[in-house]
Amino acid sequence: MTEAELRIFVGIVKHYFEQQTGIAADIYTPFLADPTALPVSDYTGVIGISGVRQGCVYFTAPAELLRLILSRSGETDLSSPNLADLAGEIGNTISGNARRQFGNEFLISVPLVVKGRDQVISLPKGVKAYVIPFCWQRHDASLVVSVV
């Protein structure tokens, strides 16, 4: 993954929060992660990538961030299943927007949602993982991009 390609994902995260909530996320400096120390929060939406690129993209966030997004959209059901659905939807939306940039052969899977901070997300062996940390409404979250 090149720096320019990583910037595409940074822009997509910024755009998502501005469009969906009207409040920009503060994006921190992306970094190359140790595969044994990847960020995992309360809810994680994992999207598999196949086609000409291989790997995965995942969005991980605390429950409170997801509750705030749901509340801002007028949703009153703030249950765990709805939070999980939102985490998957955000991961899917971000990956779908990346597909527009990378082309139709950047194939994305349906989201797999993982609940809990004690979960381990397995990434493809030998593929670097870049973390894009950000903060929205005082809640830290991350997008992890592991695509070759």
CATH (residue range 3-147): 3.40.1550.10
pTM, entire model: 0.95
Domain spans, the chain: 3-147
- Give 25's contacts (C-beta < 8 A, 6+ positions apart): 13, 14, 16, 17, 18, 134, 135, 136
Could you read off the pLDDT tens digit of each residue along the chain, which spans 148 residues?
899 999 999 999 999 999 999 999 999 999 999 988 999 999 999 999 999 999 999 999 999 999 999 999 999 999 999 999 999 999 999 999 999 999 989 999 999 999 999 888 888 888 999 999 999 999 999 999 999 9
Q: What is the pLDDT of residue 85?
A: 98
CA 76 from centre of chain = 23
